[in-house]
Chain A
């Protein structure tokens, strides 16, 4: 007998057509799945009643990989084959990983492909494949819990994930046999869990203090879209640091030296973690630590002392908060809610400090470990069609602007960031040189003005453009992002109809800190970018002037100009060449204007000469005007 759930009025499904959907929080340290059952979101525990699955996979020689608690327990004994925190490597090239992670915990294989592979006893595996193993376990757990095959899943990703990292997450899900309905930003999921998408329009802060990382996101909800105004964080700050300072305190109190063994350190951190958790409920906790000398140390840790110990850590988290507010251009009085995410936000001191900072009571009703998965589950339930049509459908947005390269290495943004998808936008471009028959389209993503500061997504060529004067050809470039976030770019020449297109499969190779950095840089460097853009534009203009005049001079300069006139133009050209090398865009502009002025007579004479040539041998009545 199949077990049934209560549906919304009129939404009962026919047998065998149940639309089962789950939300998955694929986290750095833990992953979990949630679903909506009889209208109530709930997380799905495993057979032992544990809902958090450690994001750890162990590859042994032969046999299926171990995932979760089993793998985590072996991490100490078999570090090279036990992969943890693989999320940090998703969608990144090997060079990026080597550059940013100083001490790599695993052996990376040098390979032809851009995607890094980790050497294990069971062969080489990619970060995508490791994530797949985690997702497979959650899939099995979900299907066991819901009693059927899943129609679709929503997986959450950090707001700062770029297209490559999102695509890698999608690939992992596909390999696990999951149908991804949508990738949802983690802060957005947390906001959805609290129903902020059903509230009024406004600005919300999402404070996410996990085990090892801290993220703050400022979201604005308007017209059905959560717009990410700013993100900031600290990739090395979390609940583990609290355990560390408490463990250090115990060592100090108990007179344990720094040279203590690895096993003892691990035990102390375990005790510290338990004490931290107990202090959420009680005002003080008794600590009993076994000493290596055989004795025992007993002591009391009060909440007051604990608060003093973690105060520097909490203060460190408020710095990115301030930065995010500044980046978003938002005042403290504009923040309506602060949503608390991540296990470490259970600590009462964190709650009061964050509450004081944002001057409002943080939202803490939903278990901070589960809140992201719950939001994803609610979204999955809507997307799979288990809700009446009038339920608001949360739209996805493009995380970083998409554009293409124009002359001078400048970026022309076609689709600005935070645009809801699906979307299609077109813009017309033209040729730069006379007789130009091909055009290279370079698709880039990022917020900066220079191509070199953005990331390159794809390059393709449009060939067969009819030879015309510079600026006469019309090339229409269309950017299209489908509901799955996949970008296709096409270019066509309007007159001849020749066209060319590309589907962007993002090349792996950007670090997550770099992406967060890219967003921050675009604001920090707004002034510089403006100046560089002005300079590059004038340089492009100067090149064109020089090219035109020099090719004309080579053709008929000696015929049409006397020595003085020629000298004046040569001087102006020389001046422009000199200004072109400099970095003063105004000087270049002046030099271009000067060249224009002195070559004006020459241009007129050339025009007359070419008309005369065209008319030679024709009678006036032959001319069709």
Chain B
């Protein structure tokens, strides 16, 4: 299993990285907050830590720390548009249920 990017997501990340002008890749993770247990982290990465796993997809480095990987393995990161809003979406096979707003989830 790996972390993958959809074509659209890869394209957007590439653009965002280019205009930011620095960084080694994209960091995906989880943290334990929110109304339903855990929440996703989506950040630019400037460094790669020792316990990180690095995936290469569409020529981009996707970085996940060891603990988060337990919850994220098999996730596909997508970029979609819903009405006027647009942004990234985690298609995570590990998730059992999410809170109403979908910002946090449970395994």
Contact = CB atoms under 8 A, between A and B. Distances in A.
B33 A14 contact: yes
B19 A39 contact: yes
Interface in A103-152: 141, 144-147
Contacts of A235: none
A5 B88 contact: yes
Interface string B3-18: 0000000001101100
Contacts of B43: 6-12
A37 B39 CA distance: 19
Interface in B44-66: 44-47
Interface in B29-46: 31, 33-35, 39-46
Given A16-B103, A39-B19, A5 B87 contact: yes
Contact of B85 (A10, A39, A146): A146
A12 B33 CA distance: 12
A16 B101 contact: yes
Contacts of B46: 9
A47 interface: yes
Contacts of B13: 6
A4 B89 contact: yes
Size class of the contact patch on chain B? 35 or more
B96 interface: no
Contacts of B45: 9
Interface in A1-36: 1-12, 14-16
Contact of B42 (A12, A44, A45, A146): A12
A526 B99 CA distance: 67
A16 B104 CA distance: 9
Contacts of A8: 43-44
A38 B16 contact: yes
Given A3-B88, A4-B89, A9-B44, A15 B33 contact: yes
A1 B82 CA distance: 10
A1 B89 CA distance: 7
Nearest to A146: B85
A39 B43 CA distance: 10
Contacts of B20: 39-40
Contacts of A47: 83-84
Contacts, number: 92
Contact of A6 (B44, B84, B85): B44
What secondary structure prevails in chain B residues at the interface with A?
strand
Select the residue from A2, A12, A144 with max chain B CB neighbours within 10 A: A2
Contact of B101 (A14, A15, A40): A15
B103 A144 contact: no
A147 B85 contact: yes
Contacts of B15: 40
Given A2-B103, A9-B44, A15 B39 contact: yes
A10 B23 CA distance: 13
Contacts of A7: 41-44
Contacts of B86: 3, 145
B27 A15 contact: no
A6 B26 contact: yes
Contacts of B42: 4-7, 12
Nearest to B92: A1
Interface in A230-248: none
Nearest to A13: B39
Contacts of A144: 83-85
A50 to B, nearest CB: 12
Interface in B63-90: 80, 82-90
A3 B34 contact: no
B102 interface: yes
Given A9-B27, A9-B44, A39-B16, A1 B102 contact: yes
B106 interface: no
B67 to A, nearest CB: 15
A501 to B, nearest CB: 45
A8 B16 CA distance: 11
Interface string A60-75: 0000000000000000
Contact of A3 (B35, B41, B80, B104): B80
12 contacts: A2-B103, A3-B85, A3-B88, A4-B40, A9-B27, A12-B41, A12-B43, A15-B104, A39-B16, A40-B16, A44-B84, A144-B84
Given A9-B27, A14-B34, 9 more contacts: A1-B90, A5-B88, A6-B13, A14-B33, A15-B101, A38-B16, A40-B20, A46-B84, A147-B82
The 4 closest A-B pairs by CB, nearest first: A3-B87, A15-B103, A1-B102, A15-B34
